Structure formats: C-alpha cells, structure tokens
Chains A and B, each alone.
Chain A
C-alpha cells in the first residue's frame, strides 16, 4: 500500500510555543490530505481537510488561527499548532488519498505525532 510519513513522531514542548508537524506522501501524489486528532481511548476526530494550493477546510469547533495548515505541494502538508497549551496534548494523525487512484477512496495514514505540552 501507499506510504505516508509524519515528522516528528513525538514532541514535548513548553506552553506557549508553536509546533510544526509534517505529513508527506512518499510514493504518490495527494491533492487532499486530512488531519485528525485522537485523545486517549477515543476515536479519531477530523480537524481539517488540507487542499493543495488552496485554503484548508476546518471542521466546526476547530480554530483555524490556532491550527495552521499549509499544503504547498502534492506530497507535503504541514500542521502548525500555534501557542500550544496543555489541552492541545494529543495524538495527531494525517492521512492522504492517492490522487491517481481514480475512484478508489482508500486513505492511508501516517504513523502519527504524539504532542505533549507542559
């Protein structure tokens, strides 16, 4: 299957700092990537849809000024958590759909980034 990478895999930061997470599709192009957040023992919650060359679409309740998304190329999307606070501590996972897969809807997930804000 297709491979999606995320970097970093784990980050610990102080409250008030900003953290950038990268999501890359390694062997396919993805015009659309998705960012999810998962709290312990809960399921994945969609935060936003990242569109190459245009603005991201945010889900209700997700602050676009706090979670900045940039999708500058067909293989890279970044999520920046600005002025992080302890309540932002979570497991952040990106996924990507292969743009060349036609009607195939399968999304491939990155390995996730565990963020801990002290």
Chain B
C-alpha cells in the first residue's frame, strides 16, 4: 500500500520562508509531485522530483530523498496569495501512473 504524511496546517508571515514536509511509504516509486490548491479550485502543478536533490523554480523549491522517503516544499518571500493547500503526491510503480495524494497542508500567510 501507499502512505503519505504531511502536516495538516501551517501558519507563516508574509515575506518569510516556510518549509512543508512530506514523508511517504510506497510500493514502487516513479516520482513525487507538489501541487497547490486554492479553495474550490483544482490543483495546479508546482514541482516534480524523481531523483534525489533540490529542484529550484523561482520562489518555490522542492527536495527529495528517496532513501528516507522524504520530501519538502520550500516557499520563499511568502505572499498573501500563497495561502492555499499544498498537496504532496506520489506516482507509484511503473504501469500504475495514478497519483496517491497526501491529505494536504493548509498554509495561512499572515500580514
């Protein structure tokens, strides 16, 4: 089976940096995704990691350690519009390309 854990809620201040962690246990691994989802909307793609290390994309970075079953999403220079849910999702073994999602982390950015 597959199990993905991430914190339920986080609060941070505008302009600050926040790190959202995700741990996973899966049968097979074809990559880890981070999505952003605003209330009432569909998820939008943020990042994809399949190899160990850090992927940087503007204010957002994502890190993966396959040996530890661990990833984090780093958001820099937080803006009010970053208030949303952040979903960690894993693509399982080859042939099963569907994503298994964590429960999501609701981030509240305060002034």
Contacts and interface: CB of A to CB of B under 8 A. Distances in A.
Interface of A: 1, 32, 34, 42-46, 49, 91, 93, 95, 97, 104-112, 114
B33 A106 contact: yes
Contacts of A108: 45
Given A32-B97, A105-B50, A105-B97, A43 B44 contact: no
B45 A44 contact: no
Contacts of A42: 103
A19 B50 CA distance: 38
Given A1-B45, A93-B42, A105-B91, A34 B98 contact: yes
A112 to B, nearest CB: 4
B42 A112 contact: yes
Contacts of A32: 97
Interface of B: 30-31, 33, 35, 40-45, 48, 50, 87, 89, 91, 96-104
Contacts of B101: 43-45
Contact of A112 (B41, B89, B100): B41
B87 A44 contact: yes
B31 A105 contact: yes
Contact of B42 (A34, A45, A104, A109): A109
Contacts of B103: 42-43
